[in-house]
Amino acid sequence: GRVLRVPDTGLVLLVGVSGSGKSTAAARWFRPTQVVSSDACRALVSDDENDLSATGDAFELVNAIVAKRLKRRLLTVVDATSVRKDDRAQLVRIAKEHDLPAAAIVLDVTEGTANKRNAGRTDRDIPPRVVSRQRQNLRRDLKRMDREGFRRLHVLRGEEEIAAARVEPER
Ligand code: CTP
Ligand code: MG
């Protein structure tokens, strides 16, 4: 399987639609304390995990935790869809403000795979149209994501490639 090199001191973005397997991969590749999850932050500021009005506050929290951890020179992984360029840019900027590199690992699965998995989830209800919009954003940006300031950009295509990959932090 592929070896995904990421900075051992810096920021790692997991990028992919809902149901692409970001949280599952994060648990395999990183320690729980290294992972900052937008869903976990949403849960902290809202009693209803599907309350989208909490999104702004949730991401303020994500950004604040990322900044605190990077200030302390800790490897930090953001588990959020990050399919929108502006969302990635904001996080890359925080890394740059701390003079640290950022890497991105894109989990590129088909809508069929994501929808099939989401249908079986008990934690959240994600309609196919949401995945479709996320995937449009991602597809459009993929070609130019190498110009967004990432030191490393890994694009994993399909379930097998994701399952076989492992992460290797490098200095
Ligand atoms: N899943 C699976 N096989 C994988 C990866 C994930 O069956 N190789 C399942 C998970 O158990 C989960 C669902 O697919 O029920 C979604 O995976 P998850 O990692 O939660 O996806 P995320 O990308 O984190 O989705 P979200 O953005 O909605 O948090
Ligand atoms: Mg998740």
Kindly give the number of the ligand 1 atom that is closest to the alpha carbon of 39.
29
Residue 18 CB less than 6 A away from ligand 1: yes
Most distant pair of Cα atoms in the chain: their distance: 41
For atom 1 of ligand 1, the residue with the nearest CA is 21
Q: What is the value of ipTM here, to two decimals?
A: 0.98
Displacement of CA 111 from its chain's centroid (Å): 17
CB 16 within 8 A of CB 109: yes
Q: Measured between alpha carbons, how far is 151 from 47 in angstroms, rounded to an integer?
A: 37
In short, whether 113's Cβ falls inside 6 Å of ligand 1 is no
What's the N-to-C CA distance of the chain in angstroms?
21
pLDDT for 8 beyond 80: yes
**pLDDT band at residue 150 under the 50/70/90 scheme:** very high
CA of 80 to the centre of ligand 2 (A): 7
Categorize the per-residue pLDDT at 50 as very low, low, confident or very high, splitting at 50, 70 and 90: confident
